[in-house]
Copies of this chain bind each other. A is one copy, B any other.
């Protein structure tokens, strides 16, 4: 059975020394988040993840969800664990304090998310979706709506969902057919079928607040005629108590590859009562509020599953005796050496470690930008931070989930045949990990979002600022050969990204397929730059701690050793990405569709 320990030392290093939260006291939520409070939150989140959530992960996968009539039942133990999690305030951590949330920095919410998802992805999703729905109501709801829903959602008494996909439409939401007919009382009656609805129904809460995209008859065609509606599972009476069951129900549970403990529902709306959220026909805009936060959340899932897979692979590699080290026996008193002595096993563990620690830094750095974009008193700072969030969200969603899946696969591989067997838990991690590159917009869509929307926005303001930021990190590196080498490697990767950007500007105008064909490679090249940026910042901090004889010297040395690996064994892929981007789309598009 797999085990889990929260990576708290790494988070402390990141939050206190790399991100330096204590330097951002111009952000109101950061004023209250003292280092002591941050440490206490991390400790407690680690404890609840390890002790409450993780023990239900494997049994939850084995048992899965069941449909009993039109009521979905979650696996044994989930209801109690969820209640304890919510009562501990974990769901409401970053929620709006006016409605019962704790108003802590979003960066901490992302950190706690990683821990919860590592421990139990399926269970953590119920809370994550509730938070996403609450965030959308918080931004787009009327005061009455916020009063009606947010306190009960943030307390965990009610849950939330997002209802976008229909059988014939996933990515292309302009094809949505679910209808919302206006009723006389100002509410709407929704009719249609939604599929792939995560946490669409369950028994964890007394009510579920569905946010549903639908079309009001007579509106514009395509995405411009879509509105967002609040559709409670149980209707709420004027006095705030629960009334009748609404005409919405789970018609079927999907049988999936993984995340079995999270109910993926076909939802049937049969004249269900709904309430417009935000403006008529502005549903896409409102939905994107949820989607951007959700996409960062999915990026964290990629990181989280890699972390728990890596922990278990490392433990196994230290325990499993097989073969002898190439450089001579390391455990001569035993029948064989532990397999961690073998360079190829070690290489896989290092690939994972360098990815995980870099990705975690990147999530935290992006989390800081999220907080800056929400809370900085200066509008320009807010705008600049929002540029970075917008630019990096697709990069994180795509790269962290693709590479999170690969890292999980490498971790499984360390187990040999045991990795393929259920009892060790690794194959569950793989099955769970495979959803993340798909949902909340496939990774191909993320790449198109980056290249089609985020890059050209405001004449490339965001990417230019990002290049300047990386250059500054390169320029700021201390006079030390090792660090200077890192900086020189990053500069090469940056130049590759700049060349790729120029190539795109030049060629995509003539033929947009060049943009589409290059998009995923471009995104990955940017991700390597972003990770390189993080590794440079982390290495600089580790170096200066060692210079000052400050902190845990082993930890700092290990950071530098892992940085060595990142710059030598991962960053070189930059040049291959550049070669593929500049190879263009001609050979990608040359075949007739029928020839496949």
By a beta-carbon cutoff of 8 Å, the part of chain A in contact with chain B is 165, 168-172, 174-175, 195-196, 254-258, 310, 314, 317-318, 321-323, 326-327, 335-336, 338, 340-350, 353, 405, 409, 412-413, 416-417, 419-423, 427, 430-431, 434-435, 437-439, 442-444, 447-448, 511-513, 515-517, 519-520, 554, 558, 561-562, 564-565, 568-569, 572-573, 575-576, 579-580, 583-591, 593-596
**Contacting pair B448 A420 (CB below 8 A):** no
Q: Which residues of B contact A512 (CB under 8 A)?
A: 326-327
Shortest CB distance A439–B (Å): 7
Q: How far is the CA of A409 from the CA of B195 in the complex (A)?
A: 22
Q: Which residues of B contact A583 (CB under 8 A)?
A: 568-569, 572
Shortest CB distance A555–B (Å): 9
Q: How far is the CA of A540 from the CA of B590 in the complex (A)?
A: 19
- Report whether over half of chain A's contact residues are helix, strand or loop; otherwise say mixed: helix
Q: How far is the CA of A321 from the CA of B167 in the complex (A)?
A: 11
**Contacting pair A196 B350 (CB below 8 A):** no
Q: How far is the CA of A257 from the CA of B424 in the complex (A)?
A: 11
Q: Which residues of B contact A335 (CB under 8 A)?
A: 168, 175
Shortest CB distance A196–B (Å): 5
Q: How far is the CA of A584 from the CA of B568 in the complex (A)?
A: 8
Q: Which residues of B contact A350 (CB under 8 A)?
A: 587-588, 591
**Contacting pair A588 B576 (CB below 8 A):** no
What are 30 A-B contacts with C-beta separation under 8 Å?
Answer: A168-B321, A169-B322, A170-B322, A170-B416, A171-B323, A172-B321, A172-B336, A174-B336, A175-B322, A175-B335, A196-B417, A255-B421, A256-B421, A257-B431, A318-B593, A318-B596, A326-B512, A327-B512, A338-B593, A343-B513, A343-B515, A343-B585, A344-B517, A347-B517, A347-B585, A349-B596, A417-B438, A417-B439, A420-B435, A427-B431
**Contacting pair B576 A590 (CB below 8 A):** no
Q: Which residues of B contact A349 (CB under 8 A)?
A: 596
From B172, B314, B348, B417, A170 is in contact (CB under 8 Å) with: B417
Q: How far is the CA of A416 from the CA of B170 in the complex (A)?
A: 8
Q: Which residues of B contact A170 (CB under 8 A)?
A: 322, 416-417
Shortest CB distance A67–B (Å): 15
**Contacting pair A587 B572 (CB below 8 A):** no
Q: Which residues of B contact A413 (CB under 8 A)?
A: 437-438, 442-444
**Contacting pair A422 B257 (CB below 8 A):** yes
Q: Which residues of B contact A317 (CB under 8 A)?
A: 593, 596
Q: Which residues of B contact A195 (CB under 8 A)?
A: 417
From B405, B517, B565, A587 is in contact (CB under 8 Å) with: B565
- Contacts A343-B589, A417-B165 given: A323-B444 contact, CB under 8 Å? no
Which residue of B is nearest A564, CB measured?
A: B587
**Contacting pair A447 B517 (CB below 8 A):** no
Q: Which residues of B contact A258 (CB under 8 A)?
A: 420
**Contacting pair B573 A590 (CB below 8 A):** no
Shortest CB distance A328–B (Å): 9
Shortest CB distance A235–B (Å): 29
**Contacting pair B442 A343 (CB below 8 A):** no
Q: Which residues of B contact A569 (CB under 8 A)?
A: 580, 583, 587-588
From B168, B257, B323, B554, A172 is in contact (CB under 8 Å) with: B323
Shortest CB distance A557–B (Å): 9
Q: How far is the CA of A165 from the CA of B423 in the complex (A)?
A: 18
Shortest CB distance A211–B (Å): 18
Q: Which residues of B contact A444 (CB under 8 A)?
A: 342, 344-345, 348, 413
Q: How far is the CA of A171 from the CA of B142 in the complex (A)?
A: 64
Q: How far is the CA of A312 from the CA of B376 in the complex (A)?
A: 50
Q: How far is the CA of A448 from the CA of B346 in the complex (A)?
A: 14
Shortest CB distance A582–B (Å): 9
Q: How far is the CA of A57 from the CA of B416 in the complex (A)?
A: 25
**Contacting pair A322 B172 (CB below 8 A):** yes
Q: Which residues of B contact A256 (CB under 8 A)?
A: 420-422, 427
Given A343-B515, A572-B580: 17 more A-B contacts, CB < 8 Å: A170-B417, A171-B416, A257-B431, A310-B596, A326-B512, A341-B593, A343-B585, A343-B588, A344-B447, A344-B519, A416-B438, A416-B442, A420-B434, A420-B435, A561-B587, A568-B580, A576-B576
Q: How far is the CA of A323 from the CA of B169 in the complex (A)?
A: 9
From B175, B340, B405, B427, A593 is in contact (CB under 8 Å) with: B340
Shortest CB distance A495–B (Å): 16
Q: Which residues of B contact A255 (CB under 8 A)?
A: 421-423
**Contacting pair B430 A257 (CB below 8 A):** yes
Shortest CB distance A514–B (Å): 8
Q: How far is the CA of A109 from the CA of B82 in the complex (A)?
A: 55
- Contacts A335-B175, A413-B442 given: A327-B511 contact, CB under 8 Å? yes
Q: Which residues of B contact A342 (CB under 8 A)?
A: 444, 516
**Contacting pair A596 B340 (CB below 8 A):** yes
Q: How far is the CA of A448 from the CA of B342 in the complex (A)?
A: 10
Q: How far is the CA of A349 from the CA of B170 in the complex (A)?
A: 20
From B343, B511, B517, B564, A346 is in contact (CB under 8 Å) with: B517
Q: How far is the CA of A434 from the CA of B408 in the complex (A)?
A: 12
Q: Which residues of B contact A338 (CB under 8 A)?
A: 593
Q: Which residues of B contact A593 (CB under 8 A)?
A: 317-318, 338, 340-341
